[in-house]
Amino acid sequence: MTRSAKPLLRHDSLSAKSQPHRKRDPAQPNLPFDPMPDRVEPCLALLKTALPVGSDWAYEIKWDGYRLAVHIEPKSVRIITRGGHDWTHRFPAIAAAAKELGVGTAILDGEAVVLNSEGWADFGALQRSLGGRGGKRASEDSILFAFDLLYFDGHDLTKTELSVRRHLLTDLLDGAIGAIRLSDEVEGDGGEVLEKARSLGLEGIIAKHRDRPYRSGRTGDWVKIKCTQSESFMIVGYEQSAVARGGIGSLLLAARRGHNWVYVGAVGTGFKAQHASYLKRTLDALKTRNPVVPLKGKNYVFAQPTLIAEIEFRSWTDDGNLRHASYKGLREIQDNAAVYKLD
C-alpha cells in the first residue's frame, strides 16, 4: 500500500474521528442479556441530492463494496451479506480478524472492500478477488470498514442512538489496521466534506443522524449523496465486435419500469479483455430470440435478463439513456443487488 486507506485524512482541512467518549466501566452493574439475533435487516441510506447539515448529522465516506454483518460469538464467527446469505467462507481474512478482536459477542455492520495501490476502494478488484459473478473464490484481499455496532457484550444496541453505538465501536476498533478497520467520521462543514470527496474521486458521502436508533430499511435516518452516479442495471444483450478484445463492443442495458424492462443505453468501456470474454461466454449461454427490449441491430445478441451490472455514469440524456457510462463489475444476487427503477 503506497498511500493511506483513509483519503480524507490526508488533508489538514478535514479531520476524521469519533466524538469524545468515555471508556466503559468494567465495574458497572450486571445487566440482563439480550438474545443475539440471527440476522438484523440492514439500515439503508436514502439517496438525496442535497447534504443534510447541522450538528445532529455525522458524515462518513461511502465505501464501494459489499455490505456485510459480522456476527461474533465466543466460539464462532458468521459473515452475512445484505441479502442474508452466509459468506463466512468467502471472507476468511475478515473472519480471522473478527476472532482476534477479543470480544465475547458483537455484531459489526460494515462494508467489505478491496483497496487499490492508491488506497481507494476498487469494486472491480473486489469482484475479481471473489472469482467474478457466481465465483466460489475466497477473497484474501478484502478488508471490512465497520461503521456500526448492533450488538455488544450480550446487549442489543439497535434501540440506542448512533452516537452511543459509535463510541462503543470506536473503543473496540480505534487504531485497528488489519482486515477490520473503523470507518471514521469526517469532521467539517457538510458542503466542504462533499466537495473534498468530489475532488478526491470518491463515490460519495453518507450522512447519519446522531440521535437515531438503528432502524432497518430506508427510513431517512441515513442519507447518501453521490459524487458520481453509480447504479445497477440489467444486461439484456451485447453488440458483437470483430475488433474489440473478447468480441464484445458494448453491453446493452435496461432498467425497470413497473414490470417492464426499458432500454437505457449501452456501455463499451470499463471492462478488460478477460472480463469481455467471460461476459460473452455467459451471455451466449443466455441467448434468446425474444429480446425484452425493442431493439434492432444486425450485430446485436440478446440475452435473458439474468446478469446485473454495476454502471458508473455522469448523467442521463434527454432521451433516457446513460451518459458517459462505464462498466464497474457484476453484482451478486447474494449482495441483494437492486436493478435501477425508472420513475
Question: Which residues are annotated as catalytic?
Answer: 62
In this structure, what C-alpha cell is assigned to residue 342? 425508472
CB 236 within 8 A of CB 263: yes
In this structure, what C-alpha cell is assigned to residue 302? 440478446
**For residues 305 and 284, what is the distance between their CA atoms, to the nearest angstrom?**
12
Tell how far CA 201 is from the center of its chain: 16
Tell how far CA 190 is from the center of its chain: 21
**For residues 166 and 187, what is the distance between their CA atoms, to the nearest angstrom?**
14
